[in-house]
Amino acid sequence: MAIVLAGGAGFIGSHLARHFLAQGRHVLVLDNLCRGRQEYLANCGGNLDFDQIDLADEKATLAAIAACHARHPISEIWHMAANSDILSGMEDPHVDLRDTFLTTFSLLQAMKKLGLGHIAFASSSAVYGEHGADVKIAEDTGPLLPISNYGAMKLASEALISAAAENFLKKAIIFRFPNVVGVPATHGVILDFVRKLKESPELLKVLGNGSQQKIYLHVADLVDAMLFINERAKDRLTVCNIGPDDAGCAVRFIAESVVQAISPAAAIEYGSADRGWVGDVPRFSYSVKRLENMGWTSPRTSSQAVAKAIEEIICQEHGL
């Protein structure tokens, strides 16, 4: 049975593609290559089909999935496509509308038309908005008042999937990701710091005062957790936070670690705001009880995930 990977040429999608291909599954990757790259899928081997389409385009999405389904019946749709650049989405929400929300709409329409019932969706802790550091945010926590268009379009996608689960889906899984780190890095604070220091090795300017503290998960652990949940979820609709069970890691720690690794003499200059940009949630505390109760625990803490990713991203950026 084939698997469709929407956004499968992206940071996280390409890891999933490798996994499913290694399992011997037939994989159809659909990606607009706005942020993903075909080279991320190089040397994957196996039964990989790649189709560069705009997933916000309903007709193109249906056509691509229907064509695959006719040759290799599809068992699961993994929807990892999104505009992962939160900041750009605050400046122009059309990007989030198209790449994060309308992709979900198109995929669900195609699934309904083709009678496909199993979707796994990459949502985000950004759907929660700001609850402060004292509330341990669990899957049932409310209210859901996102502060970025990225979070808004992820919540909008969740809502559509939830209605579709009532209507026609057989099995829908909504994963809520924390910050995910690793390679191939396309965006994010570590990559940003590494690139800044490569350009000006004497000074690292940090957005915000460095106190922003977030949960980080390494992409290898994320993929492991998603597969675990997908295997065990029995309900028509499952929502699950994914992350390590810790208090997170501060931007200051990341800045200092990157400086230490690349340019130990560099000065670090912090901003004054408590957040990096409009739409940035400065601190949050995350409950992963549901996932732990299912039987999965992260092998790495937030800081360990960050430390590993810093090494990997430095190698990536220096072509090592």
Residues in the site for a second copy, rule: CB under 8 A?
90, 93, 97, 101, 105, 108-109, 127, 129, 139-149, 151-153, 155-156, 158-160, 162-163, 165-167, 237, 239, 278-279
Measuring CA to CA, how many Å separate 59 from each of 4, 27, 65, 116?
Answer: 16, 20, 10, 16
Q: How many CA atoms within 13 Å lie on the side-chain side of 271?
A: 11
Min separation Cβ 268 and a second copy, Å: 27
First-to-last C-alpha distance (Å) of the chain:
37
Nearer to a second copy, 30 or 165 (CB): 165
Min separation Cβ 169 and a second copy, Å: 12
Residue of 77, 187, 82, 172 whose CA lies nearest to 127: 82
Nearer to a second copy, 113 or 195 (CB): 113
Nearer to a second copy, 10 or 151 (CB): 151
Nearer to a second copy, 237 or 261 (CB): 237
Min separation Cβ 167 and a second copy, Å: 5
Nearer to a second copy, 20 or 150 (CB): 150
Judge residue 42's burial from the number of C-beta atoms within 10 Å of its C-beta, 0-12 exposed, 13-18 middle, 19 or more buried. exposed
DSSP state of 101: I
Min separation Cβ 29 and a second copy, Å: 26
Min separation Cβ 289 and a second copy, Å: 14
Produce one character per residue of 14-29: b if its CB has 16 or more CB atoms within 10 Å, e if not: bbbbbbbbeeebbbbb
Contact by Cβ (8 Å): 35, 106: no
Min separation Cβ 74 and a second copy, Å: 21
Nearer to a second copy, 13 or 243 (CB): 243
- For 184, list phi and psi in degrees, rounded to 5: -75, 115
Nearer to a second copy, 1 or 133 (CB): 133
Answer left, alpha or beta for residue 200, where phi above 0 means left and psi between -120 and 50 means alpha: beta
The set of residues, in sequence order, having a beta carbon less than 8 Å from that of 290 and lying 6+ positions away, is 138, 139, 240, 241
- For 255, list phi and psi in degrees, rounded to 5: -60, -45
Min separation Cβ 46 and a second copy, Å: 35
